[in-house]
Amino acid sequence: MLKPISKEAIGEDFNGLLSVQDYSKKPTIEGVQLINLNQFVDDGGALAEIVRFDDAGCLQLIPEFKIKQATFSQVLPGVIKAFHMHYNQEDVWFVLPCDRLLIGLFDARKGSPTYKEQMRFVMGAGKAQILYIPRGVAHGMANPYDKTSNMVYFVNQCFNAEKPDEFRLPWDTVGADFWEVRKG
């Protein structure tokens, strides 16, 4: 039978270094949705349905979102693509489950109940998910890993180079350490 030990059973060299990981629910940003998709895995591979449309051409999972353009993006190791923001455009992101990207968001909408709130999480990494990003929420991604990662994203308006709805903020707007892999 295993017997529990106490804090006193840990050497003094390590006792002062002990901490407990934060398992509390992480903050969310008003309107952002991270939706788990069904992923079917068998001995031959995997399958996940990314989007399904209703009769009006809108996403069934996000009925107010009508896709106007789909884009593929590849992110090389060590690259940070951040921050981007739109006044009119909304995004739906899908990172391939066999890849991994660190996603960063913050709410730049001054009238929002979650103004300045930040979200930071990993997409891909064996999970099939889509991420809905409303207009006014600054967004970006980083690939701090050693393998190239791929994503497909959908937007509700076509890109117009003559009048782009694509605004940039510095990658370190919320601090350079935001994009670092957290150790421990």
44 contacts: CB under 8 Å, gap ≥ 6: none
Whether residue 176 is contained in a domain is answered as no
Indicate the pLDDT class of residue 23, thresholds 50, 70 and 90.
Answer: confident
Comparing 14 with 30, the larger pLDDT belongs to 30
Per-residue confidence (pLDDT) for residue 158, from 0 to 100? 96
Domain span holding position 108:
25-169
pLDDT at 64: 94
Beta carbons of 15 and 7 less than 8 angstroms apart: yes
- The domain total for the chain is 1
Q: What is the DSSP string of 14-63?
A: HHTT------SPPP--TT-EEEE--EEEETTEEEE----B-TTSBBSSST
Q: Is the pTM of this model over 0.95?
A: no
| Residue 183 maps to a domain | no
Q: Is residue 107 part of a domain?
A: yes
Is the model's pLDDT at 129 over the cut of 90?
yes
**In-domain check, residue 120:** yes
% of the chain surpassing 70 pLDDT: 100
CATH number for 52: 2.60.120.10
* Assigned domain for 14 exists: no
Chain centroid to CA 70: 18
Residue 7 binned pLDDT confidence (cut-offs 50, 70, 90)? confident
Q: What is the pLDDT of residues 138-181, one digit of tens each?
A: 999 999 999 999 999 999 999 999 999 999 999 999 999 999 99
In a domain, 18, yes or no: no
Q: Is 123 within the bounds of a domain?
A: yes
Q: Is residue 11 part of a domain?
A: no
